[in-house]
Structure 1
Protein backbone atom coordinates (compact mmCIF):
# COMPACT_ATOMS: atom_id res chain seq x y z
CA UNK A 1 0.00 0.00 0.00
CA UNK A 2 1.58 3.24 -1.17
CA UNK A 3 1.20 6.41 0.89
CA UNK A 4 2.06 10.07 0.45
CA UNK A 5 2.38 12.92 2.92
CA UNK A 6 0.49 16.15 2.23
CA UNK A 7 1.73 19.39 3.81
CA UNK A 8 -0.64 22.31 4.30
CA UNK A 9 -0.39 25.55 6.23
CA UNK A 10 -3.35 27.15 7.96
CA UNK A 11 -3.96 30.34 9.87
CA UNK A 12 -7.03 32.29 10.90
CA UNK A 13 -7.77 35.67 9.33
CA UNK A 14 -9.89 38.36 10.97
CA UNK A 15 -13.52 37.33 11.08
CA UNK A 16 -12.54 33.72 11.88
CA UNK A 17 -11.86 32.95 8.21
CA UNK A 18 -9.47 30.02 7.80
CA UNK A 19 -6.71 30.56 5.22
CA UNK A 20 -5.32 27.20 4.08
CA UNK A 21 -2.40 26.82 1.66
CA UNK A 22 -1.46 23.56 -0.04
CA UNK A 23 2.32 23.29 0.30
CA UNK A 24 3.13 20.00 -1.38
CA UNK A 25 2.92 16.21 -1.57
CA UNK A 26 5.92 14.15 -0.47
CA UNK A 27 6.94 10.49 -0.69
CA UNK A 28 8.22 10.27 2.89
CA UNK A 29 7.43 11.79 6.27
CA UNK A 30 11.04 12.99 6.51
CA UNK A 31 10.68 14.89 3.21
CA UNK A 32 7.44 16.48 4.44
CA UNK A 33 9.10 17.55 7.70
CA UNK A 34 12.04 18.99 5.73
CA UNK A 35 9.59 21.12 3.72
CA UNK A 36 8.10 22.46 6.97
CA UNK A 37 11.60 23.30 8.22
CA UNK A 38 12.49 25.09 4.97
CA UNK A 39 9.30 27.13 4.78
CA UNK A 40 8.94 27.87 8.49
CA UNK A 41 11.42 30.75 8.20
CA UNK A 42 9.83 32.31 5.11
CA UNK A 43 7.73 35.50 5.13
CA UNK A 44 4.24 34.88 6.47
CA UNK A 45 4.94 31.28 7.44
CA UNK A 46 7.39 32.49 10.10
CA UNK A 47 4.46 33.99 12.06
CA UNK A 48 3.00 30.48 12.41
CA UNK A 49 5.96 28.09 11.92
CA UNK A 50 4.88 25.24 14.17
CA UNK A 51 4.04 21.74 13.01
CA UNK A 52 0.58 21.13 14.47
CA UNK A 53 -0.53 17.77 15.85
CA UNK A 54 -4.28 18.11 16.57
CA UNK A 55 -4.10 15.09 18.89
CA UNK A 56 -1.67 16.93 21.17
CA UNK A 57 -2.56 20.64 21.01
CA UNK A 58 -5.53 22.95 20.53
CA UNK A 59 -3.33 25.31 18.50
CA UNK A 60 -4.68 25.71 14.97
CA UNK A 61 -2.29 28.06 13.16
CA UNK A 62 0.71 26.40 11.52
CA UNK A 63 1.75 23.47 9.34
CA UNK A 64 -0.09 20.17 9.09
CA UNK A 65 1.13 16.87 7.65
CA UNK A 66 -1.50 14.38 6.54
CA UNK A 67 -0.77 10.81 5.51
CA UNK A 68 -2.85 9.47 2.63
CA UNK A 69 -3.10 6.11 0.97
CA UNK A 70 -2.96 6.36 -2.84
CA UNK A 71 -5.85 5.26 -5.06
CA UNK A 72 -8.35 5.52 -2.21
CA UNK A 73 -11.29 7.88 -1.68
CA UNK A 74 -10.59 9.88 1.46
CA UNK A 75 -13.92 11.73 1.47
CA UNK A 76 -16.38 8.96 0.71
CA UNK A 77 -19.59 10.71 1.78
CA UNK A 78 -21.43 13.75 0.49
CA UNK A 79 -21.51 17.09 2.27
CA UNK A 80 -23.91 19.79 3.39
CA UNK A 81 -23.15 23.50 3.31
CA UNK A 82 -24.68 25.38 6.22
CA UNK A 83 -25.93 28.96 5.83
CA UNK A 84 -23.76 31.61 7.42
CA UNK A 85 -23.22 35.38 7.26
CA UNK A 86 -21.26 35.08 4.00
CA UNK A 87 -23.95 33.09 2.18
CA UNK A 88 -27.49 33.67 3.40
CA UNK A 89 -29.03 31.44 0.69
CA UNK A 90 -27.82 28.28 2.46
CA UNK A 91 -26.24 26.87 -0.69
Structure 2
Protein backbone atom coordinates (compact mmCIF):
# COMPACT_ATOMS: atom_id res chain seq x y z
CA UNK A 1 0.00 0.00 0.00
CA UNK A 2 1.29 3.47 -0.89
CA UNK A 3 0.64 6.50 1.29
CA UNK A 4 0.89 10.19 0.48
CA UNK A 5 1.27 13.46 2.32
CA UNK A 6 -0.14 16.85 1.32
CA UNK A 7 2.41 19.61 0.85
CA UNK A 8 1.36 23.26 1.01
CA UNK A 9 3.66 25.83 -0.52
CA UNK A 10 3.40 29.40 -1.74
CA UNK A 11 5.04 30.31 -5.05
CA UNK A 12 4.81 33.80 -6.45
CA UNK A 13 6.48 35.87 -9.13
CA UNK A 14 7.02 39.59 -8.84
CA UNK A 15 8.91 41.96 -11.15
CA UNK A 16 12.30 40.70 -9.92
CA UNK A 17 12.05 36.96 -9.31
CA UNK A 18 10.08 33.84 -8.50
CA UNK A 19 10.12 32.66 -4.92
CA UNK A 20 8.72 29.53 -3.31
CA UNK A 21 8.17 28.88 0.38
CA UNK A 22 7.35 25.49 1.85
CA UNK A 23 4.59 26.05 4.40
CA UNK A 24 4.02 22.55 5.72
CA UNK A 25 3.28 18.86 5.39
CA UNK A 26 -0.27 17.81 6.17
CA UNK A 27 -2.31 14.64 6.49
CA UNK A 28 -5.71 15.96 5.32
CA UNK A 29 -7.32 18.50 2.99
CA UNK A 30 -9.04 20.02 6.02
CA UNK A 31 -5.59 20.65 7.50
CA UNK A 32 -4.47 22.22 4.21
CA UNK A 33 -7.37 24.69 4.31
CA UNK A 34 -6.70 25.56 7.96
CA UNK A 35 -3.02 26.19 7.24
CA UNK A 36 -3.89 28.40 4.26
CA UNK A 37 -6.06 30.50 6.58
CA UNK A 38 -3.18 30.83 9.06
CA UNK A 39 -0.71 31.90 6.36
CA UNK A 40 -3.16 34.14 4.51
CA UNK A 41 -3.16 36.75 7.30
CA UNK A 42 0.65 37.06 7.32
CA UNK A 43 2.52 39.78 5.40
CA UNK A 44 3.51 38.72 1.89
CA UNK A 45 1.14 35.78 1.71
CA UNK A 46 -1.89 38.06 1.88
CA UNK A 47 -0.47 40.17 -0.98
CA UNK A 48 -0.37 37.06 -3.19
CA UNK A 49 -3.45 35.08 -2.11
CA UNK A 50 -3.75 33.18 -5.39
CA UNK A 51 -0.27 31.68 -5.08
CA UNK A 52 -0.90 28.85 -2.62
CA UNK A 53 -0.06 25.46 -4.16
CA UNK A 54 -1.15 22.07 -2.84
CA UNK A 55 0.66 18.93 -3.97
CA UNK A 56 0.69 15.33 -2.89
CA UNK A 57 3.92 13.41 -2.44
CA UNK A 58 4.15 9.66 -2.09
CA UNK A 59 5.76 8.63 1.16
CA UNK A 60 9.17 6.92 0.88
CA UNK A 61 9.58 7.79 -2.82
CA UNK A 62 12.96 9.05 -4.03
CA UNK A 63 12.87 11.95 -6.50
CA UNK A 64 15.98 12.48 -8.68
CA UNK A 65 16.54 8.71 -8.43
CA UNK A 66 18.83 8.75 -11.48
CA UNK A 67 20.91 11.66 -10.22
CA UNK A 68 21.58 14.85 -12.17
CA UNK A 69 24.16 16.31 -14.56
CA UNK A 70 23.88 20.09 -14.22
CA UNK A 71 22.39 22.89 -12.19
CA UNK A 72 19.22 24.20 -13.79
CA UNK A 73 16.25 26.24 -12.73
CA UNK A 74 16.08 29.68 -11.19
CA UNK A 75 19.12 30.41 -9.07
CA UNK A 76 20.15 26.77 -9.38
CA UNK A 77 17.06 25.52 -7.55
CA UNK A 78 15.60 22.64 -9.43
CA UNK A 79 12.04 22.47 -8.14
CA UNK A 80 9.74 19.59 -8.85
CA UNK A 81 7.12 20.96 -11.21
CA UNK A 82 4.25 19.20 -9.48
CA UNK A 83 3.46 16.51 -6.98
CA UNK A 84 3.22 12.80 -7.55
CA UNK A 85 0.41 11.08 -9.38
CA UNK A 86 -1.79 9.65 -6.63
CA UNK A 87 -4.41 7.10 -7.59
CA UNK A 88 -7.46 5.82 -5.70
CA UNK A 89 -5.41 3.05 -4.09
CA UNK A 90 -2.99 5.49 -2.45
CA UNK A 91 -4.01 6.53 1.07
CA UNK A 92 -3.32 9.60 3.19
CA UNK A 93 -0.64 9.27 5.87
CA UNK A 94 -3.44 10.10 8.31
CA UNK A 95 -4.20 6.36 8.32
CA UNK A 96 -0.68 5.68 9.62
CA UNK A 97 -1.22 8.06 12.56
CA UNK A 98 2.20 9.64 12.01
CA UNK A 99 3.04 12.77 13.98
CA UNK A 100 6.08 13.66 11.91
CA UNK A 101 7.88 12.91 8.66
CA UNK A 102 11.45 13.19 7.41
CA UNK A 103 12.09 15.57 4.54
CA UNK A 104 15.24 15.07 2.46
CA UNK A 105 16.88 17.67 0.22
CA UNK A 106 20.29 18.13 -1.37
CA UNK A 107 22.20 21.35 -1.94
CA UNK A 108 25.69 22.58 -2.64
CA UNK A 109 27.28 25.95 -3.40
CA UNK A 110 28.16 26.62 -7.02
CA UNK A 111 29.61 30.08 -6.35
CA UNK A 112 29.18 33.00 -3.96
CA UNK A 113 25.74 33.89 -5.32
CA UNK A 114 24.45 30.52 -6.45
CA UNK A 115 23.43 27.29 -4.76
CA UNK A 116 22.12 24.18 -6.47
CA UNK A 117 19.22 22.66 -4.55
CA UNK A 118 16.93 19.65 -5.09
CA UNK A 119 14.05 18.27 -3.09
CA UNK A 120 14.48 14.49 -2.74
CA UNK A 121 11.33 13.37 -0.97
CA UNK A 122 9.35 12.80 2.20
CA UNK A 123 9.93 9.68 4.28
CA UNK A 124 8.11 7.83 7.04
CA UNK A 125 11.17 7.25 9.23
CA UNK A 126 14.75 8.37 9.73
CA UNK A 127 15.87 4.92 8.60
CA UNK A 128 13.99 5.27 5.27
CA UNK A 129 15.43 8.77 4.74
CA UNK A 130 18.98 7.59 5.45
CA UNK A 131 18.58 4.64 3.06
CA UNK A 132 17.48 7.05 0.31
CA UNK A 133 20.53 9.24 0.90
CA UNK A 134 22.89 6.23 0.73
CA UNK A 135 21.35 5.17 -2.61
CA UNK A 136 21.65 8.68 -4.07
CA UNK A 137 25.27 9.13 -2.96
CA UNK A 138 26.21 6.68 -5.75
CA UNK A 139 24.28 8.56 -8.49
CA UNK A 140 25.65 11.19 -10.91
CA UNK A 141 25.74 14.68 -9.45
CA UNK A 142 25.07 13.54 -5.92
CA UNK A 143 28.29 11.52 -5.70
CA UNK A 144 30.25 14.71 -6.45
CA UNK A 145 28.61 16.38 -3.43
CA UNK A 146 27.95 13.60 -0.90
CA UNK A 147 27.85 15.98 2.07
CA UNK A 148 25.07 18.08 0.57
CA UNK A 149 22.14 16.06 1.92
CA UNK A 150 19.84 17.42 4.59
CA UNK A 151 17.39 15.31 6.53
CA UNK A 152 14.85 17.28 8.56
CA UNK A 153 12.36 15.80 10.98
CA UNK A 154 9.19 17.87 10.67
CA UNK A 155 5.90 17.75 12.52
CA UNK A 156 2.84 17.14 10.40
CA UNK A 157 0.14 19.83 10.33
CA UNK A 158 2.43 22.60 11.62
CA UNK A 159 2.96 25.88 9.73
CA UNK A 160 6.70 26.08 9.02
CA UNK A 161 6.76 29.66 7.77
CA UNK A 162 4.90 31.71 10.37
CA UNK A 163 6.39 35.21 10.12
CA UNK A 164 5.37 36.27 6.63
CA UNK A 165 7.78 37.84 4.16
Length-normalised TM-score, structure 2:
0.39
Distance 1:41 1:14 in 2: 24
Name the count of aligned residue pairs: 68
Distance 1:11 1:4 in 2: 23
Whose helix proportion is higher, 1 or 2?
Answer: 2
After the TM superposition, which residues 37-76 of structure 1 pair with which residues of structure 2 at under 5 Å, given as runs? 37-50=134-147, 62-76=148-162
Whose strand proportion is higher, 1 or 2?
Answer: 2
Structure 2: give runs of 5+ residues left out of the alignment.
1-97
Q: Which runs of 4+ in 1 moved over 3 A?
A: none
Length-normalised TM-score, structure 1:
0.70
Q: CA RMSD in A?
A: 1.2
Counterpart secondary structure, 1:11: strand
Distance 2:125 2:156 in 1: 13
After the TM superposition, which residues 30-41 of structure 1 pair with which residues of structure 2 at under 5 Å, given as runs? 30-41=127-138
Counterpart secondary structure, 2:128: helix
Partner of residue 99, structure 2: 2
Structure 1: give runs of 5+ residues left out of the alignment.
51-61, 80-91
Partner of residue 22, structure 1: 119
